[in-house]
Amino acid sequence: MSLPRARCLILACGNTLRGDDSLGPWLAQWAERRFQPESGVRVLARQQWAPELAEEVARAQSVLFIDCSIDSPPGSVRLLPVEPAVAQEGLATHHLGAPELLALGRELYNSLPCNAFLLTVGAGSTALGEDFSAAVTAALPEACDRLEATVSRLLSGQEPQEQPQHP
């Protein structure tokens, strides 16, 4: 099965029934409305990133991963480059991280995107529910701006500007 080669693949992760974990699918929906398919932007949202996504990742010119972060302060928006990294012991084969997907794509298809970045928003709560926490709700405009600017720069062949780390 030949897969379409995206100029920019937006690959979001999250569970829409787990509070702020639905941030990824929410931003993916926003991106689908914002970017037309003709622009070369392809948007995928999954509950988990699994190995069968490796080919899409490997074939894309650039990839923007989107996920919530349980390690960041609630509501903090971050953009970081992602490098391929082979999984450590105890790998869960049902779900992979962005570095592992890149590494798997490189191993299997001998290809890597020119740019790979991870956009995260710090989660306030991932308890059962369909609502965002107040912190993530307040961060949505910034996350959308960041997403739009990043994709625009990736499409124009420029490196996105990484966000300074918050203290």
Partner 1 sequence: MSQTITIDPVTRLEGHGKITIMLDAKGQVEDAHFHVTQVRGFEKFSEGRPFYEMPSLMARICGICPVSHLIASAKACEAIMSVRIPHTAAQLRRMLNLAQMVQSHALSFFYLSSPDLLLGMESDPVARNIFGVVAAKPELGRAGIALRRFGQHIIELLGDKRIHPGWVVPGGVTEPLAPAKRDEILAMLPEAYAGIAMALEAYKQIADTFKPEIEVFANFPSNYMSLINDDESIEFTDGALRLIDPKGNTIEDGITASKYTEVIGEAVENYSYTKFAYYKPLGYPEGSYRVGPLARLNIVKSMGTPKAEVELAAFKQLAKGPVESSFYYHHARLIEILYGIEKIEQILTDPLILDKQVRATAGVNRLEGAGQAEAPRGTLNHHYKVDENGLITWANLVIATGQNNNAMNKGVLQAARAYVKNGKFTEGVLNRVEAVVRTFDPCLSCSTHAFGKMPLALTLVNADGELVDQVIR
Q: Which residues bind partner 1 (CB under 8 A)?
A: 1, 15, 18, 47-48, 51-52, 54-55, 70, 86-95, 100, 103-104, 107-109, 126
Name which of 79 and 103 has its Cβ closer to partner 1.
Answer: 103
Phi, psi of 38 (to 5 degrees): -65, -20
Q: Is 152 left (phi over 0), alpha (psi -120 to 50) or beta?
A: alpha
* Closest distance to partner 1 from the beta carbon of 100 (Å): 8
Centre a 10 Å sphere on the Cβ of residue 73 and count the other Cβ atoms it contains: 13
* Closest distance to partner 1 from the beta carbon of 67 (Å): 12
Q: What CA–CA distance (Å, rounded) separates 61 from 8? A: 6
* Closest distance to partner 1 from the beta carbon of 59 (Å): 13
Name which of 93 and 165 has its Cβ closer to partner 1.
Answer: 93
**Bridge pairing between strands 41-46 and 8-13:** parallel
**Amino acid identity, position 123:** A
* Closest distance to partner 1 from the beta carbon of 146 (Å): 24
